[in-house]
Amino acid sequence: MKRFLIGLLMFFAVSTGSSLQADEGMWLFNNLPAEYLKSKYGFEATPEWTEHLMKSSVRFNVGGSASFISSNGLVLTNHHVGSDTLFKISNKEHNYLKDGFLAKSFSDEIKAPDLELNQLITIEDVTDAVKAAVQETMSTEGAVAARRAVIAQIEKDSLDKTGLRSNVVTLYGGGRYHLYRYKKYTDVRLVWAPESAIAFFGGDADNFEFPRYCLDACIFRVYENDKPAVIEHFLKWSDNGAGEDELVFVSGNPGRTSRIFTTDALKYQRDVRMPFVLNLLRRREIVLQQFGLKGVENARRAREDLFGIQNSRKAYLGMIGGLQDPQVMAAKEKAEMQLLAKIKSDPKLKSYESAFATIAEIQKKRVAILGKNIALNSQLFGVAKTIVEMVDEDKKASGERLPEYSEANRESLEQQLYSDAPIYSDLEQYLLADSLSMMLELRGADDELATKVMNGLGPTERAAELVQNTKLLDVVYRKELVKSGSEGIESCNDSMIRLARILDADTREFRKINDELAEGEKQAYAKIAEVLFATKGTSTYPDATFTLRLAFGTVKGYEQAGESIPAWTKFGGAFEHETNHTGQEDFVLPETWKKAKENLNPETPFDFVCTADIIGGNSGSPVVNRDGELVGLIFDGNIQSLTSDYMYSDKDMRATSVHSSAIREALKYVYNAGHIVDQLGK
C-alpha cells in the first residue's frame, strides 16, 4: 500500500463524531489514549516508552514510514517505499528494483540521489499564536494570507533557533496547530533490497489481499559526515515476533483520512472526485503499460510509476466501492444526524450549525472547478514550473510566499529541484503527449489558453517539441536559471520554461481559488471540531496528516465470505502459492528462494494481520510489542480496510505486515546477509 499520490489533492479533516470503535485511531504522540490502553489492555505508555518509539520512527518524504533498527544507522522500510530510490539508482545495466541488491560492506552501499528522512524530535502546540493572527473580520483571501504568514514565521523562527526542519501541522481540520520539529537525514544509502518478485509476490492480483507472502522490505543506512550515523533511539529486534491476540503498536505516518467529512463532502467524493481521479489513474495506467510494451528497457523505465498508479487505482476502487454501498452511507448519515441534533439542542453550540451548509456549498464549487486546471504530467515541466515560481516568489518576504517557497522549506525544495535522479526523455515525451491530450479534452480543444499551450501542433508533435527543446535535464542549467532571476527567465527561450510562463498566471489563479475553498472548509471543519471538543474533550484523534501517529490493535484473523482467514502465513505457503498459480507471471518466486528452499523452515511466519488502524503512508511503519521490540513491518491493508479512509471497524479491516522473523530468516538463509543480521537491533 503506497501513500496516495501527492498532487491528487490532499485532504485534511478532524476525527469522526461517531463513537470510537475498538482499536480505532491514529493517535498523536502528545495525546495518546492512555485510559483506553490501560483499561482494555492493562498497558501504560510511559513517557520513556513513547519518546523512544517516537524517536525510533522515521518518515520517508517520498510518502512512507520507517524505523531505525540499529545503533549504526540502519533504517528498515518497505521495498515499495524504497522503490523510488531503487528505481533512481538503476539503469539499463543494473535493475536493482527488479533484481535486488546487497552491500557486502559500508563502501558498497549506494547513495540515494534525493532522499530525505525525518526523525520527529519535538511537538509543540502553537494553536494560540496561529489563531491570534487570523481575525473573524478578515476576507477569505486575507485569512489565507495571514495564516500563511504567521505559520511561515513560526517555522522560520524555529529553524533559526534549533536548526531542525520545522513544520506547523494543521490538526482537527484547523481546530489545532502543532509545530513538529524533525532531524533531517539527507545522506541515505541502500544496504539491502530483495527482488521485486518476492517483495511484491502475487503482484497487482494479490495487492490488498490476504493471505499474502511478500517480503516487502528493504534496508537503508543514514550517514552523517560520510560515516554511518550514530543513532540513540532504535528498535530492538524481537526474538519471535508477536503471538495471536497479542497487543501491538504501529508507529508511522498515515497520509490522510476523511473521517470527519460531512455526508455532502463524502458524496462529492463518491459522485464527482473519485470517478474523476479513477479515470485519470486508469488513463495513466494504460499509457504506462503502452510505453512498457515497446521493449524491456521501456518496461523498466515505466515500472515504478506504473506500480504506484496501479496501487492507487485499486485503493480508490476500494474507497468508492464503500461509499457506493448504501449501508455505509446510511451509517454516516445517521451519525451526522445525531451530531446535528446535539448541536441544535445546545444553545452554546447552535452557531456551529451553519458549518454543514458551508461545506455543502463548497462542494458545489469544487464540482465546478474540478479538472479545469492544467496539470501536465511531466517531470521536466515540473522543474520549469518550480523555477518560474521560485524566482517570482523569492522577491517576496518569506511569509508572503506560497508555503513551499518559504525559507524554512528551502533546503528540502532544493534537494528535489537539483536532484540528479534520471529523467527519461522518451518516457517524458510519451506521458506529456497524453497529458496535453487530456488538457484538450478537459478544457475543449478550442480553449484559448489550451491553444497557446499547443503552439499550433497536435499533442504528440507538441510533446516532442517541448521535450526536445529544453535543457532542463541538466541540473547545472537549472541552477543557472534560478540564479539568472526574473530577467533571465523572461529572456529564456527554453521550451519548458516558456510553457511554464504561459501557464503561470492561470496556475496561480486556480491555486488561489482552490486555497480559498480549502480555507472555507478549514473554518467550517474547525467549527465541527469545536463541537466535538465541547462534547468529548480532546480525547479523540485528528484525521491523518502524514505526520507521526500511534495506532494499536491485536494480531487477529477474520472472516471473509464465510471463510476463516488465519492471522499468519508461513514460508511454506509461499511455495504452495506459486504452485497454485502456475502460468501467471506475477507468481514466480525468485531463483534465490528456490535455491534456499531446503534451508528455510517452512513454519517460519511470513506475513500477518492485526487490527491496528492504518492507511496509505503507514507503509514501512514498524510494528512493536509492549516492550517496544520490532515484531513486524506494515506493508499493506486488506481490501476491507480501504474504506478506512472514512470509517474504521475492527470486524474485518486489517493491517498487513511482514513478520520480523521472516525478514531475519530471509536475510540469513536466502540472501546470505549474516553481516546485516548481526547488526539488527544492536
**Residues in CB range of 561: below 8 A, 6 or more apart:** none
**Cell numbers representing residue 263 in the block:** 455526508
Decide if residue 581 touches a copy of itself (CB under 8 A). Answer: yes
- Considering beta carbons, is residue 313 or 549 the nearer one to a copy of itself? 313
Q: Smallest distance from the beta carbon of 204 to a copy of itself, in angstroms?
A: 6
Answer yes or no whether residue 584 interacts with a copy of itself by CB under 8 A: yes
**Least distance from C-beta 490 to a copy of itself, angstroms?**
27
- Please report, in angstroms and rounded to a whole number, the separation of the first and last CA atoms in the chain: 29
- φ and ψ at 422, to 5 degrees? -65, 140
Q: In this structure, what C-alpha cell is assigned to residue 328? A: 455505509
Contact between 371 and a copy of itself by CB under 8 A: the answer reads: no
Q: How far is CA 606 from the centre of its chain?
A: 25
Q: Locate 20 and state its grid cell.
A: 470510537
Which C-beta is closer to a copy of itself: that of 34 or that of 464?
464
Q: Which stretch binds a copy of itself (CB under 8 A): 144-152, 327-335, 525-533, 612-620?
A: 327-335
Based on the shown chain and the rule CB under 8 A, indicate whether residue 329 belongs to the binding site for a copy of itself: yes
Q: Does 293 engage in binding with a copy of itself (CB under 8 A)?
A: yes
Q: Is 674 left (phi over 0), alpha (psi -120 to 50) or beta?
A: alpha
Considering only residues 105, 348, 582, 627, which one is a binding residue for a copy of itself as defined by CB under 8 A?
582
Q: Closest separation between CB of residue 436 and a copy of itself, Å? A: 8
Decide: 393 and 401 in contact? Cβ < 8 Å.
yes
Site string (434-473) toward a copy of itself, x via CB under 8 A = ---x--xx--xxx----x--x-xxxxxx------------
Binding status of residue 313 toward a copy of itself by CB under 8 A: yes
Q: Return the range that interacts with a copy of itself (CB under 8 A); candidates 124-132, 216-224, 315-323, 644-652.
A: 315-323
| Residue 601 touches a copy of itself, criterion: CB under 8 A | no
- Work out the angle at residue 253's Cα, subtended by the Cα atoms of residues 37 and 660, and round it to the nearest 5 degrees: 70
Site size toward a copy of itself (CB under 8 A) is 50
Binding of residue 211 to a copy of itself (CB under 8 A): no
How far is residue 290's CA from residue 297's CA, in Å, rounded to a whole number? 13
* Member of 8, 34, 121, 328 binding a copy of itself (CB under 8 A): 328
Taking the C-alpha atoms of residue 48 and residue 28, their distance in angstroms, rounded to an integer, is 16
Q: What is the rounded distance in angstroms from the CA atom of residue 213 to the CA atom of residue 573?
A: 7
Q: Which is nearer to a copy of itself, 98 or 131 (CB)?
A: 98
Site for a copy of itself contains 337 (CB under 8 A): no
Q: Which stretch binds a copy of itself (CB under 8 A): 294-302, 337-345, 398-406, 475-483?
A: 294-302
Return the residues of window 261-280 that contact a copy of itself according to CB under 8 A. 267, 270-271, 275, 278-279
**Least spacing, CB of residue 648 vs a copy of itself, in Å:** 18
Q: How far is CA 390 from CA 230, 300, 326, 552, in A?
A: 36, 33, 47, 42
Q: Residue 263's Cα: distance from chain center in Å?
A: 25
Interface with a copy of itself, residue 586, by CB under 8 A: yes
Which of 114, 195, 285, 665 touches a copy of itself (CB under 8 A)? 285
Asked if 426 is part of the footprint of a copy of itself (rule: CB under 8 A), the reply reads no
Closer CB to a copy of itself, residue 279 or residue 601? 279
Look at phi and psi of residue 579 and say left if phi exceeds 0, alpha if psi is from -120 to 50, else beta.
alpha
Using the rule CB under 8 A, is 99 a contact of a copy of itself? no
Minimum CB distance to a copy of itself smaller for 244 or for 441: 441
Q: What DSSP string runs through 265-313?
A: HHHHIIIIIHHHHHHHHHHHHHHHHHHHHT-HHHHHHHHHHHHHHHHHH
Q: Binding of a copy of itself at residue 184 (CB under 8 A)?
A: no
At residue 83's C-alpha, the angle toward residues 29 and 52, to 5°, is 25
The nearest distance, CB 212 to a copy of itself, in angstroms, is 15
Q: Whole-angstrom Cα distance, residue 443 to residue 449?
A: 9
- Contact predicate 261/366, CB 8 Å: no
Q: Please tell me the distance from the alpha carbon of residue 344 to that of residue 351, in angstroms, as a whole number.
A: 9
Binding-site ranges for a copy of itself (CB under 8 A): 203-205, 267, 270-271, 275, 278-279, 282-283, 285-286, 290, 293-296, 299, 313, 320-329, 437, 440-441, 444-446, 451, 454, 456-461, 581-586
